[in-house]
Amino acid sequence: MELIRRLFKAAHRMLEDNSNDQQEPPSSDIVEISTSLSENLDQLATIFSDTPDLIVRTFTYKQTGAPAALTYLDGLVDKNSINNNVLHQLMFYTTTDGRDELPVALGDLKNLPVWEAVENAILRGYSVLFIDGQAHAFSLETQGWPQRGITDSQIEASLKGAHQGFIETGSQNIALIRRYLSSRELKIKEFFVGNRTKSKVSILYLEDVALPEIRHELERRITNLQIDCILNTGELAELIEDNPFSLFPQMITTERPDTAASQLLQGRYCVVVDRSSSVLIAPVGIAAFFQGIDDYSTRWPVATFFRLLRFFACIIAAFLPAFYIACISFNHELIPLDLILSIGEFRSAVPYPPFIEALIMEIMLEMLREAGIRLPAPVGQTVGIVGGIVIGQAAVQAGIVSNLMVVVVASTAVASFILPNYDMAASVRLIRFPMMTIASMYGVIGMMAGVMVIIAHIISLQSLGEPYSTPIAPVRIKDWKDVFIRLPLKNMIHRPQSIRSLQKRRYGEAKQKGDDSS
């Protein structure tokens, strides 16, 4: 009994300690701005210690004659805007409308009552104004960090589409999307994610088209993130996707504003991460990764042919090396007699089994691919072409691989280049390694079992809670007019059923919210 009483007392003390810890508010929430300018500058020096790029400019505020200080981080602001629109106005001009109105020619002007807001504003490129005698600061919109110009996308080339790509500034990326969707229904939800550095994440959608339940789920996943910082869209996609252990991407990452606008019109959501040059699109099905922006700027028979070619190339890239291994190792009856005699002649000098032969060449191919990407463009192309030819020919002459194996690997590489989405192409390249392994142990039977596992996995996947394999499973026949084939645009009147958009029609009867329906 004495032991039980001691345990109860210890548990009671632990509960009291936890309740006391929870009742203590964070210190950053209770530190307010002082009315004394000197105290504010001391607090500022404490927060931004060892920060040589913090600029503090003191002057006399013309409006009231009180001392004032303007502070900002050098390199994150537009100095011309500060000199012409802020300092010059505050030092030499007054207003007649009231003593609290600042005579500055800037669009965004906010009051900051606590130090946490001041710190976040300075770190985001705003200038912060302190005036002696006022218990709040002012944030001034003077951002002007270095940014590159708008150029064409490097990984999503287009022949007939626009030659504009996203850059590393979120506001500019949103403006590029607005250029394509000049509609009042284009809504934006902004969030700041990160415990150490706040990253602005914006969700874009068409309010009268997109399903609200999907937006609520996307907002819940983003707001529940507990992480130091979000640096790019790849990190965010991995943190909020349904199955991070799957090889298949469950969200589309694009650098093209016309692609983002096209997906928004279908009823999907776009996620823009500041400081990242790509945009997330969700929810998506696996068929969306085989659609290119040029499919809708060329005539439908040509677009249909190239789309079918992509599906065929995906099968070649994923299963051709495994099929070669299965036929050579187990299922010789699948090879014509004349061809098998030729293969036997080529392989007579190769000391390795087909699996080791294929593994050597596939790994060498991936190494050449990565070398070509990491090196400068002129050198990378030379390494890819010359390296592939020289290494392939030398491997055949040395008896390491056969001639047919070089043909198989080259065909696999060309097929993987056809896929328009880089993430899906990388996933397909990874699939062939386990398929090669199972084909080396069980032949064509093992390959069929592997294909069944892949199909079952795709059917079980979801993208923001929506089926990943739609419109194939579950079957939605009406959506097939833009999956394996691309019918004429006048026949695609309705939006895809798999997206469950609010407005079903794309042409004819679609109205914006608030329009007179009579």
Strand partners, 436: none
Task: Look at the block and give the residue holding tokens 């996933």.
Answer: 427
Q: Is 198 exposed, middle or buried (0-12, 13-18, 19+ CB in 10 A)?
A: middle
Euclidean distance between CA atoms 484 and 366, whole angstroms: 29
Whose tokens are 């400019």? That residue is: 57
Q: What is the mean pLDDT of residues 212-241?
A: 93
The DSSP bridge partners found for residue 204 are 188, 270
Place of tokens 């995906």: 314
What pLDDT score was predicted for residue 332? 85
pLDDT score of 512: 64
pLDDT at 351: 85
Average pLDDT of span 320-336: 90
> What is the Cβ-side half-sphere exposure of residue 496, based on CA atoms within 13 angstroms?
27
Q: What is the pLDDT of residue 514?
A: 56
pLDDT in tens, 329-354: 888 888 888 888 888 887 877 888 89
For 267-310, what is each residue's pLDDT tens digit? 999 999 998 999 999 999 999 999 988 898 889 999 999 999 99
Residue with tokens 């592939």: 388
pLDDT digits (tens, 9 = 90+) for 25-76: 344 446 889 999 999 999 999 999 999 999 999 999 988 889 999 999 998 8
**Residue 327 in this model has a pLDDT that exceeds 80:** yes
State yes or no: cis peptide before 496, omega within 30 of 0.
no
The average confidence (pLDDT) of the chain is 86
Rounded alpha-carbon distances, angstroms, from residue 389 to 382, 392, 406, 410? 11, 5, 10, 10
Which contiguous run of DSSP H or E holds residue 212?
helix 212-223
Q: How far apart are CA 224 and CA 210, in angstroms?
A: 22
Summarised one tens digit per residue, pLDDT across range 7-19 is 445 544 544 444 4
The tokens of 412 are what? Answer: 């696999």
HSE toward the beta carbon, residue 284, CA cutoff 13 A: 27
Of the candidates 288, 201, 212, the residue with the CA atom closest to the CA atom of residue 239:
201
Task: Confirm whether pTM is higher than 0.85.
Answer: no
CA dihedral 14, 16, 19, 23 (to 10 degrees): -130
Quote the Cα angle for 184-188-194, to 5°.
Answer: 170
Q: Does residue 393 register a pLDDT over 80?
A: no
How far is Cα 113 from Cα 136, in angstroms, rounded to an integer?
5
Rounded CA-CA distance 259/438 in Å is 38
Element (H, E) at 129: strand 127-131
CA distances 468 to 100, 128, 328, 415, 474, Å, are 56, 47, 35, 23, 10
Mean pLDDT of 230-239: 92
Give 53's Cβ-side CA count (13 Å radius).
8
In the structure encoding, which two tokens stand for residue 358, read together? 């294929």
